[in-house]
Structure 1
Amino acid sequence: MPDLERTGRTLRLRWPWLRWTYPQRPWVGSKLPYDDIDMDLFRAATKITIGNGELTSFWFDSWSERGPLRVWAPDLFKVATRKSRSVAKEFLDDNWIRSIAGLSTLVQLAQFLDIWNLVASTHLNPDTPDTIAWTTSSQGIYSAGSAYHLQFLGSLSKFDAAKIWLAHAEPKCMIFAWLAFHAKLLTADRLAIRW
C-alpha cells in the first residue's frame, strides 16, 4: 500500500523539475506548491551542470562536486545576506564576496577560501543554459517511481508478524518468535522490572 505523504511529495517534486526543464511554461515564476522539505529532497536527487548560471541558485543548488554550498559551508551561509541569487549574479564582479559581511572565525575563513577556489575553477558559458540531471534515474530524467523510492533509501521496512506463521519451522519456534516479537517473553530485563 503506497504511503500517501510520500506519494504527495513525489508529485510535488515534478513542479521544480518542470521549472528547470521547461522554463517557457506560463506558471514559471509564480509561487509553486512545494515546501522546503520537498526542495531539500529535490536538490539531493539532482546534479546541475553549470552553463550560463542563470537558473542555478548559488547557495542552494547542487552545482559543485561537494553538493550545495549551504551544506558544506554552513557558517558562511549564516552570515551571507543575499541567499537567493543565481550563480550568474553572484559570479558577476565577484558579488558573492560582497554578500558576506565580515568574517569573524577561522572556520568561516576556511569555508571562504574553499568557495573562492571553487569559483575560480568554475567558468560560465554565456551561450549554454544550465542543465539538470536526476541522479536516481538511469536516464537522468525525473520519474515519479524513482522519486518515490528515493524517499525510502536507508529506511527499514516494517516486519509483518503474520509471516512468522508461514515459516518452515517447528511450531514451538514459531510460538517463541511470536512471543518475542510482541515482547511477551520473560527476559532478564522484564524480570528485573517485576522484582
Structure 2
Amino acid sequence: MPLKVWKNIVKLQRGFLWGGATLGRKIAWVRWDKVCRPNSDGRLGIRDLRVVNLALLGKWRWRLISGGQGIWRDIISARYGLLYPSPHFGGRPSGFRGASLWWKDVSLLGSSVEIGSDWFSKGVLKRVGNGGSSSFWFDPWVGDIPLKIQFQSLFQLSDQQLDLVGEMGYWLDLEWHWVFRWRRDLSVPEIGLLEALLSAVQNTPLLGVVDSWSWRHDSTGTYSVKSAYMVLSAGSVASDLDSLLARVWKSWAPSKVIVFSWQLLQDRVPSRQNLLRRRVIRDPRDSFCAFCGASLESVDHLFVTCDSISPVWYSLFRWLDFRFVSPPSISSVFQSFLGFGVGRKIRLGWLLIWHATVCTIWNSRNDVIFARGTVSIESLVDKVKLSSWKWYLAKNPGSPCSFYEWEVQPILCWS
C-alpha cells in the first residue's frame, strides 16, 4: 500500500472516530498508535492498516518460499525470477528495474525503517532435509541467525557464498563430509572459527527428506496474518495505566460508554480544562466546573471531588451496601470498583455501575452547559440505577430481575 494512500485512509478513520459524520476539524484525543494497540494492552484495538498490509504481503512471501503450487507462482517466477540470494531475504541480483511496486514490497518485506527490523527474516526458520533448497550462509538453518552473520569473517573468505547446504559436501559410505573452499589460506584465528562452524553444523543433511520452512510465531509452524500482525504491532512493556485500561473492556455496558470510560481514565475527554489547554476555550474564566462553578473543571474534580458530585458516589455505595472513602482521582475510584467482589459476574456488575455512573455524570454536565438543565443528587442516582438496569437486561435477556429488585439489592441480580 503506498504511503500516501495509507495516510489518507488513516485521516478518514481518525476523522470518523473523533467526529463521526460531521465536517470540520476534530480533536484527536488519543494518539493513533495507541488507538491501534489491542484491548489487552489497554487500547482501543483498531487495526493499523499499514501493519495489516505488511502482514498480508508476508502471506505472499510465505507462499513463494514455502513451495506454493499454481500458475500464479510460475508466472511470477518467469516474470521476476526467484527471490535472491535466499527466499526469506528477498532482493534480486539485477535489482528492481521494471518490477512492479507489489513485487518490490514483497521482495524487500521487513526492511522498512518504520517497522525497525527485518521481521519476516527473523520470523522464519529453515528446517534442513536433503539441503537441496537451503542456502548454507543465508538461511537461518542453524539456530536463529544465518551463518553469514554468525561467522562474518569466514563468509567474506568463502568461495561458496551462494551454495546450497547440499552443495557444501558429499556422502561417502552413508556419512556426510563437509567441503569448504576459501579464497586464501586461513589464519590460526580463522581456523578456530572454522572449528566452531563445524561444531555448529552438526545437523547434517538427511537423505530423502525435503527442506521446509517454519514460522516461529505460530504453534503450527505455518505463517498466519494474525500472528504476523501481532509481531509487527508488538510494543513496549505495558505501564500500570495500560494494565488498568485493559480491564475496562469486559463489561455489560454499551460499547460507546466503555470507550468513553477508556478516554476518561486517560484524561482524554473534552473537559473545560482540556479544552483550555487546546485553546478551544480562550478565556480561563470559562473553564470552571459546570456544576459548582468554584474550581477548574478537571477530570478528577468533575467526576470525584466536586461538592455536587461526591455525594453521588456515597449514595451509590450505600445503595450497594458498601462503605466508601472518596479517593482523590478518577483512576483511584475505578481501581476501588475493580477490587470489590469475587467472581466474574460480580466484577461485571460492579464495572457496570462504574460505567453507568461516569456516563450519567457526563451527560448531566452536558445538559447543564448546553440545555441549561439542573441536577440533583437524587436524580443522578436514579438515572444510574435505571440505565445500569437496562444495560444489564440487554446483555442478560433471560434474567428475571425486575427494576424493583434492582433498586433494592442489585448484587443479588448479577451474582
Specify the TM-score bucket, using the shorter chain as the normaliser. Answer: 0.5 to 0.7
Structure 2 Cα separation of the partners of residues 4 and 105 of structure 1: 53
Query: More displaced, 136-145 or 62-71?
Result: 62-71
Q: Is the 8 A contact 2:138 2:146 kept in 1?
A: yes
**Residues 19-30 of structure 1 aligned to structure 2 (within 5 Å):** 19-24=64-69, 25-26=73-74, 27-28=76-77, 29-30=81-82
Q: Secondary structure at the match of 2:267?
A: helix
Alignment partners' CA distance in 1, 2:183 and 2:61? 28
Amino acid at match of 2:108: D
For the 8 Å contact 2:158–2:182, the answer to whether it is kept is yes
Letter matched to residue 148 of structure 1 = Y
Partner letter of residue 61 of structure 1? Answer: D
Question: In structure 2, do the counterparts of structure 1 residues 53 and 35 end up closer, same or farther at CA, with 3 Å as the change threshold?
Answer: same
Q: Residue in 1 aligned with 2:108? A: 35
- Taking structure 1 as reference, are residues 82 and 123 closer, same or farther at Cα in structure 2, changes over 3 Å only? closer
- Structure 1: gaps of 5 or more residues: 175-195
222, 229, 234: which one aligns with 1:148: 229
Instruction: Work out the CA distance in 1 between the residues paired with 2:181 and 2:204.
Output: 20
Q: 1:132 to 1:155 in 2, by over 3 A?
A: same
Alignment of 1:2-21 (within 5 A): 2-21=47-66
| Structure 1 segment 130-141 matched on structure 2, within 5 A | 130-141=211-222
Counterpart selection for 1:117 from 177, 196, 199: 199
Matches within 5 A, 1:1-195: 1=36, 2-24=47-69, 25-26=73-74, 27-28=76-77, 29-30=81-82, 32=103, 33-35=106-108, 37-38=110-111, 40-65=118-143, 67-92=145-170, 94-95=178-179, 97-99=180-182, 101-104=184-187, 106=189, 108-119=190-201, 121-153=202-234, 155=236, 163-165=265-267, 170-171=300-301
CA RMSD of aligned residues (A): 3.5
* Alpha-carbon shift at residue 114 of structure 1 (Å): 1.5
Aligned residue pairs, count: 170
Question: What is the CA–CA distance in structure 2 between the aligned matches of 1:68 and 1:42, rounded to whole Å?
Answer: 13
Relative contact order: is structure 1 or structure 2 higher (C-alpha 8 Å, sep ≥ 6)?
1
CA distance in 2, matches of 1:12, 1:147: 10
Contact kept? 1:13, 1:34, Cα under 8 Å: no
Kindly tell me: are residues 161 and 40 of structure 1, through their superposed partners in 2, closer, same or farther at Cα, counting changes over 3 Å?
A: same
Cα distance in 2 for residues equivalent to 1:9 and 1:110: 41
Structure 2 unaligned residues grouped into runs of 5+:
1-35, 37-46, 84-102, 112-116, 171-176, 243-261, 270-298, 306-327, 330-415
- Secondary structure at the aligned position of 1:13 is classed as helix
Matched residues in 2 for 1:67 and 1:147: separation? 19
Q: Identity over aligned residues, as a percent?
A: 23
**Which string of whole-angstrom CA distances, capped at 9 and with x for unpartnered residues, describes residues 67-109 of structure 1?**
32123222222333442321112234744x2145443472x43
- Residue 114 of structure 1 aligns with an amino acid whose one-letter code is A
For residue 190 of structure 1, what is the aligned residue in structure 2?
none
Alpha-carbon distance change, 77 to 6 in structure 1, aligned in 2, over 3 angstroms: farther
Q: Which amino acid aligns with 2:56?
A: L
Q: Would the aligned equivalents of 1:50 and 1:63 in 2 still touch at CA under 8 Å?
A: yes
* C-alpha contact 1:58 1:87 (8 A) present in aligned 2: yes
2:381 corresponds in structure 1 to: none
1:40-92: CA deviations, max 9, x gaps? 42231122221111121111211113532123222222333442321112234
**What is the identity, as a one-letter code, of the residue corresponding to 2:196?**
D
Q: For the structure 1 residues 40 and 83, does the alpha-carbon distance in structure 2 shift closer, same or farther, using more than 3 Å as the test? A: farther
Kindly name which structure, 1 or 2, has the bigger radius of gyration based on alpha carbons. 2
Task: Note closer, same or farther for the CA distance 1:135–1:66 as it changes in structure 2 (3 Å cut).
Answer: closer
Give the deviation of 1:162 after TM superposition.
6.7
1:137 Cα offset (Å): 0.7
Contact 2:134 2:165 in 1 (8 A): yes
Shift of 1:127: 1.3
Cα drift, residue 140 of structure 1: 1.2
Question: Residues of 1 paired with 2:265 and 2:200: CA distance?
Answer: 53
